[in-house]
Amino acid sequence: MADPRPNVIVYLTDDQGYGDLSCMGATDFRTPTLDRLAKDGVRFTNWYSNSPVCSPSRAALLSGRYPGNAGVRSILRGHRTATGLPATTPTLATMLKKEGYQTALTGKWHLGLAEQSRPGAHGFDKTFGFMAGCIDFYSHIYYWGANRPGPSLNPTHDLWEDNEEIWRNGEYFTELIAKKAIEYIREMSKADKPFFLYVPFNAPHYPMHAPPEYMDRFADLPWDRQVMAAMISAVDDAIARILDELERLGLTENTLSVFTSDNGPSRESRNWLDGTQDPYYGGTSGGLKGHKFSLFDGGVKEPAIMHWPARIPAGQVSDQSCASMDIVPTVLDAVGADVSQYEIDGASVLSHVADGTDLPDRPIFWEMDSQTAVRSGKWKLVLNGQLVEHTEPIAQIHLSDVENDPGETVNLADSEPQITAQLTQLAEDWRAGIEKRWEDDYASADYEYVAHGMV
pTM equals 0.95
Calpha distance 13→260 (Å, rounded): 6
At residue 389 the predicted structure's pLDDT band, cuts being 50, 70 and 90, is confident
Q: What is the pLDDT of residues 156-174, one digit of tens each?
A: 899 999 989 999 999 999 9
Nearest C-alpha neighbor of 175 from the set 217, 239, 238, 126: 238
The whole-number pLDDT of residue 279 equals 60
Using the predicted structure, report yes or no on whether residue 104 has a pLDDT greater than 60: yes
Q: What is the pLDDT of residues 106-162, one digit of tens each?
A: 999 999 988 888 999 999 999 999 999 999 999 999 865 544 445 545 578 999 999
The whole-number pLDDT of residue 452 equals 37
Backbone angles phi, psi at 116, to 5 degrees: -75, -10
- Mean pLDDT, range 390-407, rounded to an integer: 96
H or E stretch at 63: helix 54-63
Calpha distance 329→365 (Å, rounded): 18
Calpha distance 366→426 (Å, rounded): 12
> Mean pLDDT score of the chain, rounded to an integer?
92
Nearest C-alpha neighbor of 234 from the set 57, 15, 34: 34
The whole-number pLDDT of residue 67 equals 98
Calpha distance 451→313 (Å, rounded): 44
Using the predicted structure, report yes or no on whether residue 270 has a pLDDT greater than 80: no
Catalytic residues: 54, 110
**Residues spanned by CATH 3.40.720.10 within the chain?**
7-355
Mutual orientation of helices 54-63 and 327-335 as an angle, nearest 10°? Answer: 20
Q: Please name the residues in contact with 218: beta carbons below 8 A apart, sequence gap of 6 or more.
A: 28, 29, 225, 226, 229, 230, 233
Mutual orientation of helices 223-248 and 173-188 as an angle, nearest 10°? Answer: 10
At residue 81 the predicted structure's pLDDT band, cuts being 50, 70 and 90, is confident
**Residues spanned by CATH 3.30.1120.10 within the chain?**
364-442
Using the predicted structure, report yes or no on whether residue 276 has a pLDDT greater than 70: no
Name residue 158's amino acid. Answer: D
The whole-number pLDDT of residue 108 equals 98
Calpha distance 111→77 (Å, rounded): 9
- Domain covering 364-442 assigned CATH 3.50.50.60 in the classification: no
- What fold, for 7-355? Alkaline Phosphatase, subunit A (3.40.720)
State percent of the chain over pLDDT 70: 91
Q: What is the pLDDT of residues 300-349, one digit of tens each?
A: 999 999 999 999 999 999 999 999 999 999 999 999 999 999 999 999 99
